[in-house]
Structure 1
Amino acid sequence: MRRIQIKDASATLPALKQSEVISKSYEFTLITPMFGGDEDSFVINKKTPIRSQSIKGQLRFWWRTMQGFTSRDELLEAETKIWGGSLSEKKLKSEVKVSVTDFRNLEVTPIKKERPWTEPNILSSYVLFPIFNNKDVQNPSLLSKATFSLSLTYPREHEKAAINSLLLWALFGGVGARTRRGCGSVYSEELLKDRGITSIADVKKFIDDVGCGNVAELPYARIKGAKLFYSSAKGSVKELLKKYGDYRQDRKPPQVGENHPGRSYWPEPDAIRQLVLPKSILNSPKNLHKPEHPDEIWFPRAAFGLPVITHFNTSNNGKDDPRDNIKLEPAEKIGGRHAERWPSPYFIKQLKLQNELFNVMFVLNQKFPSSLILNGVPVPPSGLPSNTKGKDMNVNPNKPEYRLNNRTITKALADALGMEEA
């Protein structure tokens, strides 16, 4: 769906009578480290580490997840009337204003880029990879502690939409980069108490109540039909995200005398080899990495978000492996161009309720792309992640619980993270 770029509501709030306007302010605390979120990318701006415009964009997203429109035009019209943008060649101002002030108790922690596999940081190296892979990033840092005030101003007629959007953001969103993978999670005791949310059961009831329409999969991410998994948090968010990263990147250990990991236990690398390599290389006796995964051409991890970039280590694997960065992306076109992205519907994070911390995985309901391409090569329909019948998925012999075993991909991930469905 087309994105609408808007300016911060602070400059565009329409003139309304004072009696029609409501303002509410809540104190928020950062409960997991934040990185990114500033124009200087991965360096924390100590004066204004959190931007109101960024939060407002997330509120807009969470408002959209509550809708049930099957018509793209109707969704766009309803969204623009509240959050602003262009509609029928007319610019509408946002009716919701977000202001972030009173930053205090700030604690900034440097990120160590050296030898990330030793996990020297307070966040897992799995989620920090944009920093490790960017040589231009100098002196990156994390915001490890912060408290701030957030004010929300809106017309009375939009109170339900504004407050429910804020509550969804507080529960499942966050500040900065990689909020879908547990970074920058926030907590407001007053907001949750005002809405009567003190337990996982309360969270589940809230998301069941705010979703509109039926559970059909639509082209945009929705609350209706979403799934919530949880467990009591026994460790830090770093441990949760490391567990997720280890599961998603599970591979054979290095052989004796080698200093690089072995082949993946997942089917995608062999699927790529079969799609992009000529048969003369695939069938060559000298090929050190002939496809061996039983699932053949299948891309289950596409369910976690697109694009997926795969880089083969040809210096260690041998010259017969693909040499390019291989991009798996939607084949569908928007405005004559490939969509390129299908944002992950999975939100894996820690959630605070009163004095208890939970690990949660919230999976929004969204239609998966109908077809995929791999560096321009069409992926056969059987390669879509929905085709789970008879698949093994992860073939680690030491972790039989990683095999799909007639589960959904979502249920298999929840089990790997030690979570149960709410």
Structure 2
Amino acid sequence: MMFNRKPSAESSVNCPDVKKIENHKPPIEPIIRNYRLITPLMGGGVKAGENDSNFLIRPSSIRGQLRFWWRACFGGSHQPQSHDALLADMFARESALFGKAADSQSSGASAVQVEIEVINSGSQFRVIAKNGQEVKISAMNSPYGYSAFPLQDKQNASVREGIEFKLTIHLKSAEQREELEKVLWAWQTFGGIGARTRRGFGVLQALDKANHRFAFANKAELQQHIRAIIGNRSYWPNGVPHLAPTMQLRLIKPKPNQTALNIWADLLRCYKEFRQQRNDGNQPNRPGRSRWPEPDALRRLTRQRSRLHEQPLSTIDAFPRGEFGLPIIFHFKDSDDPGDSELRLQANHEFSQQKGDRFASPMLLKPVASTGQLFGLIAVFEGSTLDGRQAIIKNRRITAAAVIIDVSESQARTIVDKQRRPMLTNPSIITSFLETIEE
């Protein structure tokens, strides 16, 4: 049997005093940035090439971008070390900031937490061709078509413009703040959000006064900022794209009243004209034969040649445009020419019949906003080269064949335009392209 008894004053419970917590650390002030996209957003959702109406800007995507740009700024070392030691050092420092897979030693949690608030979801991007008609962004007569070609075969492809969002980054220590602010500057200057950022989609403009400390008005000031961030890091793991004070740069001042979209279209036009050097066609709506060596090299490789192209324009068995990035799809329209062929980087050092790997272009091309100023920017990563590696070509007649990308100095001189002028000033096709750009 249980009895309820009211406690007397003598039997009341005495609670211990609660001690005040001393030396309580104030919360770390987050980094807050507001951004506007000055070129349209391609993709960015779960499905490639599609916008996600529920998560237009994904925190996981931005964290991935920041991780890439941290490597591009801070992945190097001040001291010479073996390749494995450089990789291990970079991974340890990167993991301390951005996390890693959990193991018995730690949870692997990231010290960087990203929050996104979309302020303006923008609207569907409309493209008007020179004839005044609205066309798909990937159309041949679109000013941006040369960058948007991955969308040609996508039925649900969508791009949006006018997007604005607020980015909040929470850190675990104040020491991480300075490093992350530099990474943010590199991302907003050289990178973007979504797909095809190296060809000008998803370009960011920072709307905060905090970015004035990183403003630049010419190439020398831009190089100065890069030098201040990189410091004396001179040793990088192989294959890690990174910024460098000596990297190839072109910073082009816009013409009067040019918008970011105008600048972007001009850069793409220059790039297209260089990559698509052709003879004048003899038939309406036919642009003529390519002056580059790849088509004739493919014909020799497959032992298949169109009756219209009996006489080769090039005798070089190389694929130099692969330096701009891989894969490349070669499409022949004549029935007696080789079928569609795909050029990819060799998957490993030993030749194999595998599909091969991608090689992300080391060159980026985009408009860039430095506070209130607009420029056209072309930049080439250090540490991102083919380094003489082979590539593989595949089509219906050959399962896979090893080919080379690089051309020699003597071969470069034989690649000429329709006026018989050399198209390459040296064996590097990217360097040759940059020398056609006036700043």
Q: TM-score, normalised by structure 2?
A: 0.77
**Given the alignment, which residue of 118, 128, 133 partners 2:141?**
118
**Given the alignment, which residue of 406, 419, 424 partners 1:385?**
406
**Given the alignment, which residue of 100, 104, 111 partners 2:116?**
100
> What are the Cα deviations for residues 192-230 of structure 1, in whole angstroms up to 9, with x where unaligned?
634342323332111122225327782211113522211
Consecutive unaligned residues in structure 1, runs of 5 or more = 1-16
**Given the alignment, which residue of 40, 43, 51 partners 1:36?**
43
**Given the alignment, which residue of 65, 68, 71 partners 2:76?**
68
Give the equivalent residue in structure 2 for 1:4. none
Give the equivalent residue in structure 2 for 1:3. none
Give the equivalent residue in structure 1 for 2:362. 345
| Distance in 2 between residues matched to 1:297 and 1:173, nearest whole Å | 35
- Contact 2:113–2:170 under 8 Å retained in 1: yes
Give the equivalent residue in structure 2 for 1:172. 190
- CA drift of 1:179 comes to 0.5
- CA drift of 1:28 comes to 1.0
- Contact 2:212–2:371 under 8 Å retained in 1: no
Q: Sequence identity of aligned pairs in percent?
A: 26
Aligned partner of 1:272: which letter? L
The verdict on how the C-alpha distance between 1:52 and 1:115 changes in structure 2, with shifts beyond 3 A counting, is closer
Give the equivalent residue in structure 2 for 1:156. 174
> What are the Cα deviations for residues 263-321 of structure 1, in whole angstroms up to 9, with x where unaligned?
111111122222x313xx46xxx7433462346112221111122222222xxx241x2
Give the equivalent residue in structure 2 for 1:223. 243
Give the equivalent residue in structure 1 for 2:343. 327
SS of the residue aligned with 1:126? coil
SS of the residue aligned with 2:406? coil
Consecutive unaligned residues in structure 2, runs of 5 or more = 1-23, 78-82, 128-134, 395-399
| Distance in 1 between residues matched to 2:343 and 2:247, nearest whole Å | 28
CA RMSD of aligned residues (A): 3.0
SS of the residue aligned with 1:218? coil
Q: Does 1:272 align with 2:280?
A: no
Aligned partner of 2:379: which letter? F
| Distance in 1 between residues matched to 2:410 and 2:238, nearest whole Å | 23
Aligned partner of 1:254: which letter? G
| Distance in 2 between residues matched to 1:180 and 1:415, nearest whole Å | 19
| Distance in 1 between residues matched to 2:366 and 2:94, nearest whole Å | 27
- Contact 2:40–2:125 under 8 Å retained in 1: no
> What are the Cα deviations for residues 387-406 of structure 1, in whole angstroms up to 9, with x where unaligned?
34441375222484x61133
**Given the alignment, which residue of 238, 243, 253 partners 1:232?**
253
Q: Does 1:22 align with 2:49?
A: no
Aligned partner of 1:255: which letter? N
The verdict on how the C-alpha distance between 1:272 and 1:75 changes in structure 2, with shifts beyond 3 A counting, is farther
User: 1:130-141 to 2 correspondence within 5 Å?
Assistant: 130-134=150-154, 137-138=155-156, 140-141=157-158
> What are the Cα deviations for residues 357-386 of structure 1, in whole angstroms up to 9, with x where unaligned?
11111110124252222232122xxx3336
**Given the alignment, which residue of 63, 76, 82 partners 2:97?**
82
Which structure has the highest strand share of the two?
1
Stretch moving more, 60-69 or 39-48: 39-48
Give the equivalent residue in structure 2 for 1:246. 273
Stretch moving more, 84-93 or 242-251: 84-93
Q: TM-score, normalised by structure 1?
A: 0.80
- CA drift of 1:253 comes to 3.4
Aligned partner of 1:173: which letter? G
- CA drift of 1:23 comes to 0.4
| Distance in 1 between residues matched to 2:242 and 2:224, nearest whole Å | 16
Give the equivalent residue in structure 1 for 2:380. 363
| Distance in 1 between residues matched to 2:203 and 2:97, nearest whole Å | 25
Give the equivalent residue in structure 2 for 1:8. none
Q: How many residues align?
A: 381
SS of the residue aligned with 2:308? coil
SS of the residue aligned with 1:22? coil
The verdict on how the C-alpha distance between 1:223 and 1:205 changes in structure 2, with shifts beyond 3 A counting, is same
| Distance in 2 between residues matched to 1:179 and 1:197, nearest whole Å | 21
SS of the residue aligned with 2:189? helix
| Distance in 1 between residues matched to 2:419 and 2:102, nearest whole Å | 56
| Distance in 2 between residues matched to 1:291 and 1:398, nearest whole Å | 18
SS of the residue aligned with 1:251? coil
Select the structure of larger CA radius of gyration.
2
- Contact 2:137–2:145 under 8 Å retained in 1: no
Q: Does 1:202 align with 2:221?
A: yes
- Contact 1:301–1:385 under 8 Å retained in 2: no
User: 1:262-301 to 2 correspondence within 5 Å?
Assistant: 262-274=288-300, 276-278=301-303, 281=304, 287-290=307-310, 292-294=312-314, 296-301=316-321
| Distance in 2 between residues matched to 1:312 and 1:255, nearest whole Å | 17
The verdict on how the C-alpha distance between 1:197 and 1:399 changes in structure 2, with shifts beyond 3 A counting, is farther
